[in-house]
Every structure is written in structure tokens, then in C-alpha cells.
Amino acid sequence: MKTSVRPGNKTIMKTVMLSKVCSAEHYVDGTEMTRVLSDISFDVFTGEAVGISAKNIVEAGILLEIIANVRPYYSGKCVLAEKGMMQEKRVILPHLFYIDTPLMLYNNMTVIEFLSFAAANSNIPDMRRQQALLDMLIAFGLESIALTDIARLSDTDKIIVELIVASYSASSLVVLNALSFDFSDSQIRSIKKICDAIQARGSIVIGTQQAKLIGMCCDKVAFIVSGSLRFFGSVSDLCKSWDKVLYLISDSKPEEVVKTLTRAYDKYSYVILGNSILVYNYSDTPISDADFFEIVFDNGIKPDNIKINKGRVGNSFEELSRMHGI
């Protein structure tokens, strides 16, 4: 297998290579049987953080388990760290760190005690291990839980502690199956810092239904609809191509604003969401921001706030799903 080479002759390894992977599992629709996943192909390179999401959480979960070597697949090829996958599944691979549960920790330890225990075989010297780990927690913005008993942590905090262990393990690939978890904004900021540490020596694949987690922590994203890969590429390209929301308008009387805007400029679509109005563009020739704002103000609309949308992962996922009939 050929690897990619960066300028300066630095070889970049593929930590994941999926080629036309089809799942062993099927959906049954009447007499029809359809594979849950069909022809999934993409690569993950050293140094990348890649998000995996799907309209159907089952599809994303099966793909993550195939990548993590805990679930067999029907056909295609899956290679990890440029090493062939063993025929026998449910085997812990030395180059892979898989997280899918908060139950990997010892509840009778504090966070710093567990991290010290897990780092026993690391290259951190014994005499300064706890200080080094405390410095790490501070750098990740997690010093507040350092002395907390693991039994008292939330499930999401436990997942983050497991991710810290992954960050100083010898594994070249970390797979985080977080499909069942929702993290707070502060937790996502900490996860981003941990991902940066992992990416300095390897790569990470994150399975999540939380668009913000992908937007903040991932370089690339794979999105699956009805068992097929509908998008794989950079997060910025996803938002540029698929987020059709141009503006977010806040007003105490959104219905009146929508009526006025629909009369004034009907080439855009206006969707009310609480006291907000999402302005969608499905035409090929949007007008400039200045021209749209002129329409708004010339028609007597004085919104509480109007914001240009810079692209959101969640909006893009919704549009991809809509385009494929979901």
C-alpha cells in the first residue's frame, strides 16, 4: 500500500483505509433485504481528526465498530495503521484505542490516581508523574476534577478521562464512539485540546450526533444517509456546500417579519424557529449581504438582531438528509 508524502519527505501514514465496505447486517423492508451500510470508502491520515455521523445512529455505530475491529463486515476492505485487519474480531489491537463506554475506570480512585495508574507503563518518570498529569489536566481545562472520585463524575466526564488516557497511550489510532453522549460547550473545548495532543502523534475518529463537537474538534467529516456515504471531506467544505442558511434574524414578532420579507423578496425561504427566523437560499444567484439588508430596512423591519451565518455542521446535515429524501 502506498502512503502519502508531504514536502520534506515526511511520510504520512493512513491510520484508516476503508474501501467499498459493506456491513453484514441488513434492514428488512417487507421482502426486501438491504445492507445497513453499502460501499463505504474513505481514508484517515496521521494527524487528522475525523467525525462520523449519520441520520440513523445505528448506521454510524456499526461503522465505528467495524473500524474498531469489534464487528465483522461482509465485503470490502478495512485496514488500520496500514496493517491488515485480523479475521478474528473482538480482538484488542495494539495500535488502536477504542472508547464507547464510561465504565472503563475504577470508581474507587480519584481522577489523578487513575491517570497515574494508567500511566504506569508510559514514559513519564515515576517521581514526577502526578505533577505532570496535573499539569496536563490544567492544560486541558480539567483541573476542577483532578481530585474528584471517579464514582462522582458524570458519564461524559468519565469519557473525557478515558480520552486523556488514550492521548498518552502508544496507540496510533483512537476511536471515540460518543454517539450516545452530549457534551457541554466547556467539555467540547477540553476534548478539542485532547484531540490536538492525540493528533500530534496519531489520529482520532469521533462518532457523534452532536454537530458542535464535529465543528469544533474535527478536520474532516463523514456523513451517512440511508446506509451510503453522502459526504466525506473537510468540515469547512461541508458547510460551504451544504449549509443553505444565510442569515439568522431575531425578532419578537417573527410571523410579521416573515410575511413582509416574503412579499419583498420571495427568492429566499424563511423558516420560523421560536423568536428566530432562518433565511435559506436555494437559488444559484444569491444577492449580496448589503442588498438583503437594504431590503430588510427599506421595508420597515427593525429586527432585534440579524446575523450572517458562517456555516454550521448541523444545518449541513439537515440539508444533506433533505436532499436524499429523509
Does position 104 have pLDDT exceeding 90, yes or no?
yes
CATH number at residue 257: 3.30.70
* Structure confidence at residue 2 (pLDDT): 44
* Structure confidence at residue 284 (pLDDT): 82
- Of the candidates 169, 164, 128, which has an alpha carbon nearest to the alpha carbon of residue 146? 164
pTM for the model stands at 0.87
Does position 88 have pLDDT exceeding 90, yes or no?
no
Q: Is residue 270 part of a domain?
A: yes
* Structure confidence at residue 94 (pLDDT): 80
Per-residue pLDDT averaged across 86-115, rounded? 85
pLDDT tens for 267-318 read 999 999 999 999 999 988 889 999 999 999 999 999 999 999 988 999 999 9
Does position 10 have pLDDT exceeding 80, yes or no?
no
3-state helix, strand, coil in the chain (%, to 5): 35, 30, 35
The rounded percent of the chain whose pLDDT value lies above 70 is 91
Distance between CA atoms of 66 and 294, rounded to whole angstroms?
A: 52
Greater pLDDT, 90 or 208: 208
Q: Is residue 187 part of a domain?
A: no
Q: Is residue 231 part of a domain?
A: no
Q: Is residue 273 part of a domain?
A: yes
Per-residue pLDDT averaged across 159-168, rounded? 96
The rounded percent of the chain whose pLDDT value lies above 90 is 76
Model confidence at 83, pLDDT cuts 50, 70, 90, reads: low
pLDDT tens for 165-183 read 999 888 999 999 999 999 9
Q: Is residue 293 part of a domain?
A: yes
3-state secondary structure of 303: coil
Distance between CA atoms of 166 and 190, rounded to whole angstroms?
A: 14
pLDDT tens for 28-54 read 877 788 899 999 999 999 999 999 999
Angle of helix 111-118 relative to helix 155-167, nearest 10 degrees? 30
Model confidence at 156, pLDDT cuts 50, 70, 90, reads: very high
Greater pLDDT, 2 or 289: 289
Does position 3 have pLDDT exceeding 70, yes or no?
no
Q: Is residue 298 part of a domain?
A: yes
Q: Is residue 254 part of a domain?
A: yes
| Domain count across the chain | 1
* Structure confidence at residue 1 (pLDDT): 41
Does position 139 have pLDDT exceeding 70, yes or no?
yes
Which residue range is the domain that position 300 belongs to?
A: 244-310
* Structure confidence at residue 125 (pLDDT): 65
Q: Is residue 88 part of a domain?
A: no
How high is the mean pLDDT of the chain?
Answer: 90
Contacts of 106 by beta carbon, 8 Å cutoff, 6+ apart: 114, 117, 150
* Structure confidence at residue 302 (pLDDT): 92
Amino acid at position 271, single letter: V
DSSP calls for 208-221: -S-HHHHHHH-SEE
* Structure confidence at residue 8 (pLDDT): 45
* Structure confidence at residue 326 (pLDDT): 65
Cβ pair 312, 215 in contact under 8 A = yes
